[in-house]
Structure 1
């Protein structure tokens, strides 16, 4: 076997296969293989009570997804409330019913037992300025009909959130590397700027690709699994395990 091929195979095993094996072991160790139908979906307490918090709020959450798919991926969603609103509005993109689901779950609810993490947050005037554009991007999302949802390689829940945020150039964030579907070309373009506007992304229909950007870092996508390096906030990005390093940014 040529030495370059040996190195390539070794890197693939180290940065793609090994992390997925570790993620699978952690998944089964936690006993996540059954009981999702009755899993906890109550509030995780990550949002201020709307009645006592007048300023506008915008959040993007991510949580390990349902059943064995949790080995590989997280599920992302959007929640917000305008200034003075009495309640939050939550949007998910799901595989059942109408794909774009509004208020189907608690705005910061556990995703079938899994605690969410905050991927993005804006409050006050910043959130108030963003919320109308978030609503517009949701209303204009192309894959909104029954049958459009595809768990892999997309369009799925993470494709939806990536598309909504892509319309907000001042929101410079990178979705978690294990948000499978985030790289799906929802606008039909395989080569384009990254959602953060700080680099370029090549995606081969979501089945593979390469990202080079200041915010997203260096990401290699192989069959939806992403490995890479964050240079801005030093961290490794690994399939299944997500981001290992400083906080999301």
Structure 2
């Protein structure tokens, strides 16, 4: 079992260097142009929207980890702004932060997205400006480390810290979410509902209303979500109730599209 974990980590660390950057168009980073119907159509929905997604990352890394990103739309806007950290973009653009108008709920390297957070209407309107301001001032945009971070999941967790109104709870498979600089070893959890002690994301403990109780060793997290009756396992992810009721999301999106 230990050898399997070490092998998986070896692939996780080495495989990013195999990517063919020149084959990735900046307008279609990592995904297709297909929407999974988890987000209301921007040109048909006037209210504000904030959504956070996760999808298994590409290649062998997906055995262990997901990639996360955030989509925002202000009230009256006719498009979504999709923001995420892309490691290879750092060398090409001088920043790993990639933010552009796009499809919020498309796949990531062929892997289906999972909706982690869905705020709409007044709830989203109250914090969307704060979220977009936080995105613009992300302090680690000029650095990227696959493991233990800062990486794409560190970015989303940091947004949760900056905007605790989101109540963000990232999955155990979001490796890098627990990365913290040494001077911030102790602090609030990403959801804003609890506390965390984490040594560079390599060893940590989190306890909060949203997260439950979580132990992190070498970036692998085990979480017992007491209030949602769910278990988060390393590599496997969430077992139990989903973070967002997708059936309700589909129903809501269909109603908005038809004007009902």
What TM-score results when the alignment is normalised by the length of structure 2? 0.78
> What RMSD in Å do the two structures reach over aligned CA positions?
2.7
- Residue 92 of structure 1 corresponds to 84
- Given the alignment, which residue of 104, 108, 112 partners 2:105? 108
Q: 2:32 aligns with which of 35, 41, 46?
A: 41
Residues 81 and 134 of structure 1, relative CA distance in 2, 3 Å threshold: same
Task: Please report how far the alpha carbon of residue 87 of structure 1 lies from its aligned counterpart in structure 2 after TM superposition.
Answer: 0.8
Find the residue that maps to 1:201 and give its secondary structure: strand
- How far off is 1:161 after superposition? 0.6
Take 2:31 and 2:229, find their aligned partners in 1: how far apart are those partners?
Answer: 34
Q: Which runs of 5+ in 1 are unaligned?
A: 1-12, 25-33
* Selected match of 1:53 from 45, 59, 66: 45
- CA deviations on 1:186-210 (whole Å, 9 max, x unpaired) are 5841011212233221101111111
Judging changes above 3 Å, is the alpha-carbon distance between structure 1 residues 40 and 211 closer, same or farther for their aligned structure 2 residues?
Answer: closer
Structure 1 residue 181 displacement after superposition: 0.5
Going from structure 1 to structure 2, the CA distance change for 1:41 and 1:191 (only over 3 Å counts) comes to same
Query: C-alpha separation between the residues in 2 aligned to 1:157 and 1:194?
Result: 17
| 1:7 corresponds to | none
Partner of 1:72: 64
SS of residue paired to 2:214: strand
Instruction: Give a deviation string over 1:60-101, Cα, whole Å, max 9, x none.
Output: 011001111101111110101111111111001010223000
Question: In 1, are the aligned partners of 2:51 and 2:72 still within 8 Å (CA)?
Answer: yes
2:202 matched to 1:210?
no
1:108 offset after TM fit, Å?
1.5
TM-score normalised by length of structure 1? 0.81
Q: Would the aligned equivalents of 1:192 and 1:201 in 2 still touch at CA under 8 Å? A: yes
Q: Which moved more, 1:39-48 or 1:128-137?
A: 39-48
Distance 1:90-1:142 versus aligned 2 partners, 3 A rule: same
Query: The residue matched to 2:135 in structure 1 has which SS?
Result: helix
SS in structure 2 at match of 1:77: strand
- Determine if the alignment matches structure 1 residue 119 to structure 2 residue 116: yes
Change over 3 Å in CA distance of 1:105–1:150 after alignment to 2: farther
Q: Distance in 2 between matches of 1:113 and 1:201?
A: 33
Alignment: residue pair count: 222
* Aligned-residue offset at 1:57: 0.9
Q: Which runs of 5+ in 2 are unaligned?
A: 10-18, 25-29, 90-94, 245-260
What does residue 197 of structure 1 align with? 192
Once the two structures are TM-superposed, the CA of residue 228 in structure 1 deviates from its matched residue by: 2.2
